[in-house]
Structure formats: C-alpha cells, structure tokens
Amino acid sequence: MRKARLPQQTNADVTIRQLAPSPLKVNALDSSYFGYWSKEEILSFLKQLLEWEHIGSAAYAAIGRAACTRLADLALEAEMGQGAICILLRKEIAARGGTGMLRARAADAIPNIDCSLRSRIRFASRNQAMLADMIEDAVVDIFDSKLNAKLIYLLLLHRKQVEQLEAMAA
C-alpha cells in the first residue's frame, strides 16, 4: 500500500508569497482599499471644513460688532482662533496637493447685520456644533494619524467654543 503524499511545503510558501502583497505594496495602496477615505475625499472634506470655518469666523466678527466690550474681546479672541484654523486647513490642503481647490468663499450663510446679538450668538453656536459634529464623523474615515490628531484638537476646540457661546447667551 502506498501512502498519499502531501504537497511539498515549498510550493505552498511560494503560492502564499505570490498572493499576499508585500509590505511595500501595502504602503503604496490607497487607504480607500481598507475602507478609509481616498485622497480626493479627504481634500473635499478639508475644503468643506475650511468654508464652514470661514463662516464661523464671520459669525464671531458679527458678535464682536454687536456686543459690549467684554463680549467683543471674547469674540475677537475666538475669531482669531478661527483664522488660525483656516490657515492650518489651507496648509493641509496645500500639502495634499489641493491648492487648485481653494477659491473665494461665498458669504451667503453669514448672519444678517440687522440680527440681534442673541441670534448672532445662536448662529455661531450652531455653526461650531455643526463643525464639531462634522469633524467627529470624519475622523473615523481618515487613515492619516497626523491629520486625525489635528482634527481631534479642532474638535475639542469647537466643543469648548460651543460652551463659551452658550455661556455668552445665558
């Protein structure tokens, strides 16, 4: 009686090596292969985030124009923070090759000059909350750990700004 022979182990090793991507090939793959956003999706998100950050900055400027000196100082500080965020986002977009995506923004969502201070604060608070939610939703879809760290920082900043605006409105 003859015993059945198992296939040679070397053939299995060669087959596995041929089917499995090398570490270099895995690094070269687009992160969308793993279910994360592609480079284009990240750029689109950053561009949209930048547009809403501009609106937030304008909302703080509107509060500063209508508020007393103490609130105007707080609004100016927050507006400058929003400006710093806009600069950070522009740098991120440029670093990812999306400089052609940057263009002048539309100011159609900025509160009317005739609005009361309370309505300006509510608008700014809703904008900051929306930005925080937008960032929170996006972080799980982005593979880049450095960008995620920056976005988490922005998320915490926006949550803090919502709390400050709610305190202003009270």
pLDDT digits (tens, 9 = 90+) for 20-42: 555 545 444 555 556 788 889 99
87-122 CB burial, b ≥16 within 10 A, e <16: ebbbebbeebebeeeeeebeeeebbeeeeebeebbb
DSSP string, 95-135: HTT-GGG--PPP-TTSPPTTS-HHHHHHHHHHHHHHHHHHH
| pTM for this model (two decimals) | 0.71
78: burial class by Cβ within 10 Å (0-12, 13-18, 19+)? Answer: buried
Alpha helices in the chain (DSSP H): 9-19, 23-28, 39-66, 69-95, 117-139, 145-169
Assign residue 97 a region (left: φ > 0; alpha: ψ between -120 and 50; beta: otherwise). Answer: left
Residue 17 pLDDT > 60, yes or no? no
User: What are the chain's domains?
Assistant: 38-169 (1.20.1260.10)
pLDDT digits (tens, 9 = 90+) for 76-112: 888 898 889 999 999 999 988 877 655 555 455 555 5
